Structure 1
Amino acid sequence: MAHPVLLNNLEHRELRVITRRGAALGDQLMSVPTFPSEFRDVQACYPIVFRKTTDGLGFEPIALFGFEDGENLFLRGERWDAPYIPLLHDRQPFLIGVSGEELMVNVDLEHPRVSRSEGVEVFKPHGGSTEFLEQANSMLLAIHHGLQGTPGLVAALLEHALLESFVLDVELNDGSQNRLVGFYTINEDRLQALSGEAIVKLHQAGHLQAIYLVIASLSNFRMLIDRKNATRHD
């Protein structure tokens, strides 16, 4: 159970964060949410697809790491085998807190990365922020601003009926069948059929680039399948 509290250099002066990777540290997951301003980095490594939000009323973009719950095909023991880790996962155990209009840094004390005996120090001996904490602050700020771009993109996709559900059937080299369901992607035929006026509107709103980055990211499914095949020989 998550236990987020406001980070401060008195109560948490001895706090450390374990930075190595591992299943026991929360890295064994199938996907993580992402946002439009991160798509360029994410699409270089992972497929970007959409799923319904937990309330079932909207959609959110996610980066896929595997084909089934609890499967991260990029996790290799204590190493993450990709040059980029999406920020909403990489920021752990820190979270954004909001007090009025002020953004605060919270920390999940129950997260497996939190330690008192090993890992990177969060505060300097005399209470100042370490470089590690400054980097976490920058990450959280990028997430805060980045997430603000998601509703506009999703609204534009729905306005032009550009989201469609898809099913991906994968037959692995050993003959086993895998099916990915419950996700959505860009309907490229509808995109191509949009009027020039609609395309200009998407471009001016900054959505067109994000749409094409999502489409480009789908080529990573081939690599994901290759990684899945490789696990059958490990």
Structure 2
Amino acid sequence: MANAVLLNNIDHKDLRVDMRRVRGLGDEVMFAPTFPTEFRNLQAHYPIVFAKTPNGTSFQPVALFGFREGQNLFLESGSWDVTYLPLAIERQPFLIGTAEGEPVIHIDLDSPRTGVDAGEPLFLEHGGTTAALERISSVLLTLHDGVRAVPAFVAMLVELDLLESFVLDIELPDGSQNRLAGFYTINEDRLAQLDGTALERLHRAGHLEAIYMAVASLSNFRALIERVNRVDAADR
């Protein structure tokens, strides 16, 4: 459980956050949640798929980093090795909350990124915010706005029956078989068969571009498989 507290320049004046992307700091995750307006940046590097929400009643778009729990194939050589870092990853260990209706920043004091001995300072000597904290504030606000758009986007995908489950079987160089299952993608055949009215609704709602970005992102599965093959070969 996160030990999230409201960030302030009195209690946390000496707090520092390790912004590196290295193993052991919490980035060893198979995927991260995302939102439609981030798809354009993500689609150059990551497959964008959909996962069932924890209560099983809806779907959440996610950027995929690996093929099993705890596997992040983008953490290589002590860094995140592509140019775009998903915002849900970048914001760690910060969270957004509200106070009197206004967004505020919380921080997880139990995160391995959080401490006083090393990392980026959050506050200046006389209480102002550092560039690092200003960046995090921008990231959190973008995430806050983006996540609010997800339910309407997903609801229209479900209404138009555009999501389908898929299974991806991968054979590693050593001959072992691996299977990715439990995720959903855009059904391209159904998308192509939508009539003008449905396409206009998607366009007017601002969803059409995100749909095509998600479809285009699936070409990244080839590169992701190459990554897992390299890791497997290096481990042998």
Aligned to 1:91: 91
Aligned to 1:134: 134
SS in 1 for 2:8: coil
C-alpha distance after superposition, 1:34-54 (max 9, x if no partner): 000100011111000001000
Q: How many percent of aligned residue pairs carry the same amino acid?
A: 56
Whether the 8 Å CA contact 1:45–1:82 is kept in 2: the answer is: yes
C-alpha distance after superposition, 1:64-98 (max 9, x if no partner): 00000000011114211111111011101111011
Whether the 8 Å CA contact 1:21–1:77 is kept in 2: the answer is: no
Aligned to 1:152: 152
Cα distance, 1:173 vs structure 2? 2.3
| Amino acid paired to 2:51 | R
TM-score when normalising by structure 2: 0.97
Counterparts of 1:214 and 1:18 in 2: how far apart (Å)? 31
| Amino acid paired to 1:34 | T
Cα distance, 1:169 vs structure 2? 0.7
Counterparts of 1:202 and 1:76 in 2: how far apart (Å)? 38
Counterparts of 1:175 and 1:226 in 2: how far apart (Å)? 15
Aligned to 1:214: 214
| Amino acid paired to 1:195 | D
C-alpha distance after superposition, 1:93-113 (max 9, x if no partner): 111011232100000101110
Q: 1:94-133 maps to which residues of 2 (within 5 A)?
A: 94-133=94-133
C-alpha distance after superposition, 1:169-216 (max 9, x if no partner): 111222111100000000111111111111011011111101000000
Counterparts of 2:190 and 2:121 in 1: how far apart (Å)? 51
Whether the 8 Å CA contact 2:15–2:115 is kept in 1: the answer is: yes
Counterparts of 1:231 and 1:201 in 2: how far apart (Å)? 44
Counterparts of 1:189 and 1:96 in 2: how far apart (Å)? 39
Whether the 8 Å CA contact 2:59–2:154 is kept in 1: the answer is: yes
Whether the 8 Å CA contact 1:157–1:163 is kept in 2: the answer is: yes
Whether the 8 Å CA contact 2:172–2:232 is kept in 1: the answer is: no
TM-score when normalising by structure 1: 0.98
Counterparts of 1:213 and 1:219 in 2: how far apart (Å)? 11
C-alpha distance after superposition, 1:110-156 (max 9, x if no partner): 11100101001000011110011101100001001111111111011
Aligned to 2:58: 58
| Amino acid paired to 1:13 | K
Counterparts of 1:27 and 1:133 in 2: how far apart (Å)? 19
SS in 1 for 2:24: helix
Aligned to 1:170: 170
Counterparts of 1:145 and 1:161 in 2: how far apart (Å)? 26
Aligned to 1:205: 205
Whether the 8 Å CA contact 1:32–1:88 is kept in 2: the answer is: yes
Q: Does 1:226 align with 2:219?
A: no
Q: Which runs of 5+ in 1 are unaligned?
A: none
| Amino acid paired to 2:62 | I
SS in 2 for 1:5: strand
Equivalent pairs counted in the alignment come to 234
